[in-house]
Structure 1
Amino acid sequence: MYTRRVYKILDMAKWTRFSTFLFLLIIVVPIVLHQFFDLQWLKIPWTPLALIGTAVAFVIGFQNNAAYGRIWEARKIWGGVVNTSRTFAMFVQDMVTNEYCEDEVSDEEIQEEIKTLTYRHIAWMTALRHAMREPRKWETLHREKSNREWHKDMPPPEKITSLKDDLICYMDQEDMDYVLSKGNKQTAILYRQSHHLRRLKERGLIWEFSFLQLEGVLEELFTLQGKSERIKNFPYPRHFATLNHYFMWVFLLLLPLAIVPQFSEIGQDMMENHPFVGTHFVWLSIPFYLAVAWVFHTMERIGRTGENPFEGSANDVPISTISRGIEIDLRQNLGETKEEIPDQFPMVYDTQM
């Protein structure tokens, strides 16, 4: 446990190292101007800076709460996908029967119909997770170098394989041609699912009341899909996100003009008793500034990375893992062997994708 915590601290330091180097430059410049160019007048009082810092802390806290709310809502939506998927698979296995069929069909044909419906549902989850991973202009994953590094080491499965390659395992060519011709492919799959259920009802393989039950499950899937698409397609309000970022940088750029003179004054007071320490005391402003700047910047950055819970970062909702977990459950209950069922997506750096 202790070793894992150390690794997490090191990962956080690696993730923020570029901004830390920038903060070091920002604090060293005013110290050099103050010490070597005798610019003691280059300072600002603490009172207005404290007011700015308080405002920045409030807006960052608001941003982080809003971002966490989006992540938690996304996780609840995909929790609903898990439950509704299992319900649909159970209904299909028990409701597709010969009980109300005028021309009885073989058990093998019934099992084939059940498998087709189940596989098409897996295709729907696959299409939905691919749609959630599509990039949007307001997403932040690729804007910072350290984010791109992490993404390179742990890309989501949707960035490795195409939607067409993933769907071909679950649908026949007719379904593939229909789905791939549509803009919203996950919606097209649910339409095909509903049409298939209607045909089974007309053949008597599904009782009319059972058909209504299954259509109700499809309605719930449409609802969950719409909620997931809403989070994906409606960003955290840009005026909040942009102004928060600018306010934070205004505070971090002004902070050295207050902290350096303060440490210089403390050093002057120490000159009589400790001349060496007093002369160089101003350099201790570096670690103090780095600590304050790192906390403010990292908290603001955590909020930005949490605004979009489906873009594919390490902090996102692991929709790929969730989808594959549902697929394994459904295919096991179809009676498939372990060799036929794909493995769960591996974790990278103890992170699910």
Structure 2
Amino acid sequence: MYTKKVYRAKDMAKWTRFETFLFLIIISVVVSLYFFLDLHWLKIPWTPLALIGTAVAFVIGFQNNSAYGRIWEARKIWGGVVNTSRTFGMFVQDMVTNEYCDDDFTEDDLNKEIKILTYRHIAWMVALRHSMRSPKPWETVMNERTNREWSKFIQPPERTSTLEIDLEPYISEKDMEYTLSKGNKQTALLYLQSHHLRKLKEKGLIWEFAFLQLEGVLEELFTLQGKSERIKNFPYPRHFATLNHYFMWVFVLLLPFALVPQFGEIGNEIAESFPLIGRHFVWLCIPFYVIVAWVFHTMERIGRTGENPFEGSANDVPISTIARGIEIDLRQNLGESHEEIPEQFPMVYDTQM
């Protein structure tokens, strides 16, 4: 546990190192002007700065709460995908039977139909996760240098493979052609599922009541898909995110002009008893400023990172891992061997994707 905590602290320091260096330069310049050029008039009162800082803190808190709410909602949606997928796999295996069929089908034929339905559902999850990982104009996390650095080591599998390649093992060429011809691939796959279930009902392989239950499961999948697409396609309001970013920088840039004179005054008081320490006491404000500026900036950046929970950053909902986990469950329950089933996506730096 200790090793992991130290490791994560190092990661955070590395993630914010460019901003930390910038804060160090800003405060060093202001302190140098104050100390070497004796610009003691270069200051602003604490009262307006305190009001700005309070406002920034409130807005950052609001942004972080909203961002966490979007992440938590996305996690609940994909938790619903897990449960509904398992239900669908169970229903398909138990409801596709010869019980209401005039001409009995062989066990191999029944298993073939069950496998087609199950694999098409896996294909739906593949299409959905690819859709969720597709870039949007308002997703800006990868515009930052350190995030691009992390993406070289931690990136979702959708960035290293295409939808067509990932769909190929699960659906027929005819289904592939139909799916790729549609704008919303995941919706097309659910339509194919419904059409297939109707044909099985007409053959007598699915009882009418069972057909209605399976259609109800597809309806729930449509609902979960729509909720997931809503989060993906509706960004966190830009006026909140953008203004908050600017307000934070206004506070960070003005803070030295109130902090440095304050430390200068304390140094003058100390100089009466300890002249050397008092004269150089103003330099002590450098670490304090860097800490305060780092906290405000990092909290604001964390909020921006969490605004889009499907963007593919290290802190997003691990939809690729979730989808692969469902696939493993479904294929194990089909009776497939360990060699036939793909392995779970590996964790990188203790991060699921």
What's the TM-score, normalizing by structure 1?
A: 0.99
> What corresponds to 1:24 in structure 2?
24
> What corresponds to 1:5 in structure 2?
5
Deviations 1:40-79 (A, max 9, x none): 1110000111111011100000000000000000000000
Contact 2:141 2:304 in 1 (8 A): no
> What corresponds to 2:299 in structure 1?
299
Contact 2:128 2:225 in 1 (8 A): yes
Cα distance, 1:287 vs. partner? 0.3
> What corresponds to 2:287 in structure 1?
287
> What corresponds to 1:54 in structure 2?
54
Tell me the amino acid that sits aligned with residue 73 of structure 2.
E
Q: Which range is displaced more, 74-83 or 141-150?
A: 141-150
Tell me the amino acid that sits aligned with residue 70 of structure 2.
R
1:1-353 aligned at under 5 Å gives the runs 1-353=1-353
Deviations 1:325-344 (A, max 9, x none): 00000000000000000000
Tell me the amino acid that sits aligned with residue 166 of structure 1.
D
Cα distance, 1:204 vs. partner? 0.6
Rounded to whole Å, the distance in 1 between the matches of 2:4 and 2:171 is 43
Q: Which range is displaced more, 29-38 or 45-54?
A: 29-38
Cα distance, 1:272 vs. partner? 2.3
Tell me the amino acid that sits aligned with residue 158 of structure 1.
E
Rounded to whole Å, the distance in 1 between the matches of 2:308 and 2:321 is 18
Rounded to whole Å, the distance in 2 between the matches of 1:60 and 1:107 is 60
* Alignment: residue pair count: 353
Cα distance, 1:140 vs. partner? 2.1
Rounded to whole Å, the distance in 2 between the matches of 1:259 and 1:141 is 31
Deviations 1:155-204 (A, max 9, x none): 10100111100000000100000001111000000000100001101111
Tell me the amino acid that sits aligned with residue 104 of structure 2.
E
Rounded to whole Å, the distance in 1 between the matches of 2:95 and 2:139 is 43
Q: Following superposition, which runs of at least 4 residues in structure 1 exceed 3 angstroms of deviation?
A: none
Rounded to whole Å, the distance in 1 between the matches of 2:59 and 2:140 is 19
Q: Which range is displaced more, 184-193 or 24-33?
A: 24-33
Cα distance, 1:254 vs. partner? 0.4
- Secondary structure of 2:251's partner? helix
Rounded to whole Å, the distance in 1 between the matches of 2:183 and 2:27 is 51
Tell me the amino acid that sits aligned with residue 234 of structure 1.
F
Tell me the amino acid that sits aligned with residue 82 of structure 1.
V
Cα distance, 1:3 vs. partner? 1.1
Tell me the amino acid that sits aligned with residue 170 of structure 2.
Y
Rounded to whole Å, the distance in 1 between the matches of 2:141 and 2:122 is 28
Cα distance, 1:138 vs. partner? 0.9
- Secondary structure of 2:52's partner? helix
Cα distance, 1:141 vs. partner? 2.0
Rounded to whole Å, the distance in 2 between the matches of 1:270 and 1:141 is 46
Rounded to whole Å, the distance in 2 between the matches of 1:142 and 1:71 is 18
Tell me the amino acid that sits aligned with residue 330 of structure 2.
L
Rounded to whole Å, the distance in 2 between the matches of 1:52 and 1:340 is 60
Matched-pair identity in %:
77
Deviations 1:198-248 (A, max 9, x none): 110111111111100000000000000000000000000010001111111
Cα distance, 1:151 vs. partner? 1.0
Rounded to whole Å, the distance in 1 between the matches of 2:91 and 2:3 is 47
Q: Which range is displaced more, 28-37 or 323-332?
A: 28-37
Cα distance, 1:38 vs. partner? 2.0
- Secondary structure of 2:142's partner? coil
Tell me the amino acid that sits aligned with residue 231 of structure 1.
I
Rounded to whole Å, the distance in 2 between the matches of 1:167 and 1:217 is 22
Tell me the amino acid that sits aligned with residue 187 of structure 1.
T
Gaps of 5+ in 1: none
